[in-house]
């Protein structure tokens, strides 16, 4: 794949028109006045039939699994954590571009919306779908995929970030048929508003923390003992509410323990690898949207802005910036195309490849956006010219979904193991 297909281009155009008409005029409300992004995202989903297609895709998948289970019992249980498909009816085939296109297009203006969206329909629903029982999947996943419910996925704690499992202190204790959950989580996307929360903690059986099993529970907003903070103030991604969660003796039945079993593979530390891969690819899509937009704005400005009697695009130092931006755009675009084509061919990115893609894309987006600010001079520092917001937003791509340093560690470990 070296270019978007005709259908992809139609989707891109339609989604871009929607965003420019429905979201861009309201951008200040989302970015500076604290308006939550969910209604706008829901409108986008219903406009393009993404909610219905996601529900239909989920139902189809459950049927397919039931059929497979009948012919080969047990086979599907461990092979479930790949992407959920949109069901687009006849002529619609599995195509990751369907989710990447809204990601890229939204990121041109409002990467925060993608963060809020991705955590809900990507991370949270995938965590439940990959390891949940059939009843749990049916209870939560379709509502998350269709944005009927907003999801949050909570692993990070004040004392545990990159070393998520090692330093985790949140606990679950058995109490009769139930569990009692305690702990606090921070930097949780959608935390302030989430209806459905995946809470990751350790089973405290009186053993040493390092030996404890990692369990995941699904919590609903309003459960006694669960407190969701107000949005935290942050550098960028202002349209994505980020908050803290505090759990004080929250009682959860076994029906909320994902998989309804404490016997989780690798002590629960494996996580859903495909989910991480998917998240990293999502970051590449965001990077592409940011880079495309910064480059467009920069080229326009380089032609228009006159200093020393010439458009600044005449100066070689400005040309150097534009050329580097274009190289970054081509590279990130190719990585995204490669992922789409691989997925269509039924192949998966390895985790190390996904890390490489995420590392490169996130750095490229940050660099391009900061260079765009530089190219715009004082105007670049002013909100009105938009590259200022994109530069603040881009920075976090190097921090969440695994920091640059952690991606490097994964890539190197994989190389040295060969």
Partner 1 sequence: MGAAKAVIVSDDALRGTDALGTAKVLAAVIKREMPDLILCATESSDGYTGTTPVQLAELLGLPSITFAKSVAVDGSSVKVERQTESGYDEVTAPTPCVVTVTAGVVEPRYPSFKGIMAAKGKPVDQLTVADLGIDAGQVGSAGAGQEVVSVQPAEARQGGEIVVDEGDGHEKIVAFLEQLKVI
Ligand X SMILES: Cc1cc2nc3c(=O)[nH]c(=O)nc-3n(C[C@H](O)[C@H](O)[C@H](O)COP(=O)(O)OP(=O)(O)OC[C@H]3O[C@@H](n4cnc5c(N)ncnc54)[C@H](O)[C@@H]3O)c2cc1C
- Please give the residue ranges that form the binding site for ligand X (CB under 6 A): 119, 153-156, 161-162, 187-189, 237, 242, 396, 399-400, 403, 405-406, 409
- Name every residue whose Cβ is closer than 8 Å to that of residue 189 and which is 6 or more positions away in sequence: 115, 116, 119, 152, 153, 240, 241, 242
Q: For residues 396 and 392, what is the distance between their CA atoms, to the nearest angstrom?
A: 8
CA 199/CA 292 separation, integer angstroms:
36
Residues labelled catalytic: 279
Smallest distance from the beta carbon of 336 to partner 1, in angstroms?
18
Nearer to partner 1, 14 or 352 (CB): 14
Q: How far is the CB of 109 from partner 1 (least distance, A)?
A: 17
The answer to whether the CB of 327 falls within 8 A of the CB of 350 is no
Q: Which does 237 bind (CB under 5 to 8 A by kind): ligand X, partner 1, none?
A: ligand X
Least distance to ligand X, CB of residue 400, Å: 4
Which entry of ligand X, partner 1, none binds 49, CB below 5 to 8 A by partner kind? partner 1
Q: With CB under 8 A as the rule, give the number of residues binding partner 1.
A: 20
Distance CA 142, CA 148 (A): 8
23, 98, 149, 287: which one binds partner 1 (CB under 8 A):
98
Q: Which of 43, 14, 15 is nearest to 102 (CA)?
A: 15
d(CA 287, CA 107): 8
Query: Among partner 1, ligand X, none, what binds residue 406 when CB lies within 5 to 8 Å by partner kind?
Result: ligand X
- Considering only residues 23, 50, 397, 406, which one is a binding residue for partner 1 as defined by CB under 8 A? 50
**H helix or E strand, kind and range, residue 12:** helix 6-18
The footprint of partner 1 on residues 66-95 (CB under 8 A) is: 86, 88-92
User: Which of residues 1, 14, 62, 399 is near partner 1 by CB under 8 A?
Assistant: 14
What are the CA-CA distances from residue 86 to residues 12, 52, 54, 100 (Å)? 16, 8, 5, 12
Shorter beta-carbon distance to ligand X: residue 145 or 396? 396
- Nearest approach, Cβ of 150 to partner 1 (angstroms)? 21
Closest residue to ligand X, based on beta-carbon distance? 161
53 binds partner 1 (CB under 8 A): yes
Vertex 389, ends 192 and 370: CA angle to 5°?
130
In the complex, what is the shortest distance from the CB of residue 316 to ligand X, in angstroms, rounded to a whole number?
A: 34
How far apart CA 235 and CA 391 sit, in angstroms, is 10
Q: Which is nearer to partner 1, 48 or 199 (CB)?
A: 48
Using CB under 8 A as the binding rule, whether residue 19 contacts partner 1 is answered as no
What is the spatial distance between Cα 61 and Cα 69, in angstroms, rounded to a whole number?
12
CB 179 within 8 A of CB 118: no
The answer to whether 281 touches 354, Cβ cutoff 8 Å, is yes
Query: Does 48 interact with partner 1 (rule: CB under 8 A)?
Result: yes
Please, which residue, 89 or 206, has the CB nearer to partner 1? 89
The SS3 of residue 187 is: strand
Residue 398 CA neighbour count, 13 Å, CB half: 14
The answer to the question of residue 6 lying near partner 1 (CB under 8 A) is yes
How far is Cα 32 from Cα 13, in angstroms, rounded to an integer?
27
Among 20, 32, 34, 47, binds partner 1 (CB under 8 A): 47
Stated length of the chain: 418
Q: Report, in Å, the least distance between residue 15 CB and partner 1.
A: 8
Q: Is 226 in the site for partner 1 (CB under 8 A)?
A: no
63 vs 413 by CB, closer to ligand X: 413
C-beta of 285: minimal distance to partner 1 in Å?
16
Contact 50, 102 (CB under 8 A): yes
Q: Which residues bind partner 1 (CB under 8 A)?
A: 6-7, 10-11, 14, 17-18, 47-50, 52-53, 86, 88-92, 98
């Amino acid at each position: 794949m070296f270019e978007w297909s005709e259908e992809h281009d139609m989707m891109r155009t339609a989604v871009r028109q929607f965003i420019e008409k429905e979201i861009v005029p309201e951008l200040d409300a989302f970015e500076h006045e604290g308006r939550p992004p969910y209604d706008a995202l829901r409108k986008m989903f219903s406009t393009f039939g993404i909610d219905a297609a996601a529900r239909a895709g989920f139902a189809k998948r459950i049927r397919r699994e039931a059929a497979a289970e009948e012919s080969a019992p047990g086979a599907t249980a461990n092979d479930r954590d790949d992407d959920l498909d949109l069901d687009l009816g006849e002529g619609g085939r599995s195509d990751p571009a369907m989710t990447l296109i809204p990601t890229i297009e939204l990121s041109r203006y409002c990467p925060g919306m993608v963060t809020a969206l991705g955590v809900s329909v990507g991370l949270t629903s995938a965590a439940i779908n990959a390891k949940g029982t059939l009843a749990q999947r049916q209870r939560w996943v379709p509502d998350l995929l269709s944005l009927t419910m907003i999801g949050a996925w909570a692993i990070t704690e004040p004392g545990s970030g990159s070393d998520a499992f090692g330093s985790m202190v949140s606990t679950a204790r058995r109490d009769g048929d139930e569990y009692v959950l305690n702990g606090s989580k921070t930097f949780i996307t959608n935390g302030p508003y989430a209806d459905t929360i995946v809470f990751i903690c350790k089973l405290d059986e009186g053993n040493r923390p390092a030996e404890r099993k990692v369990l995941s529970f699904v919590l609903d907003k309003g459960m006694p003992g669960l407190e969701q903070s107000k949005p935290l103030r942050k550098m960028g991604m202002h349209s994505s509410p980020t908050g803290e969660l505090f759990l004080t003796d929250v009682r959860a039945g076994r029906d909320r323990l994902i998989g309804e079993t404490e016997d989780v593979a690798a002590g629960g530390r494996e996580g859903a690898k495909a989910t991480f891969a998917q998240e990293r690819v999502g970051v590449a899509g965001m990077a592409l949207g940011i880079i495309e937009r910064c480059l467009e704005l920069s080229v326009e400005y380089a032609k228009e802005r006159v200093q020393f009697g010439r458009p600044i695009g005449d100066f070689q130092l400005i040309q150097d910036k534009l050329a580097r931006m274009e190289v970054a755009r081509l590279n990130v675009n190719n990585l995204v195309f490669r992922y789409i084509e691989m997925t269509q061919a039924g192949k998966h990115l390895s985790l190390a490849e996904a890390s490489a893609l995420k590392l490169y894309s996130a750095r490229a987006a940050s660099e391009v956006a900061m260079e765009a600010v530089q190219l715009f001079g004082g105007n670049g520092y002013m909100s009105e010219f938009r590259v200022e917001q994109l530069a603040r937003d881009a920075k976090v791509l190097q921090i969440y979904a695994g920091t640059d340093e952690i991606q490097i560690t994964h890539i190197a470990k994989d190389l040295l193991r060969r």
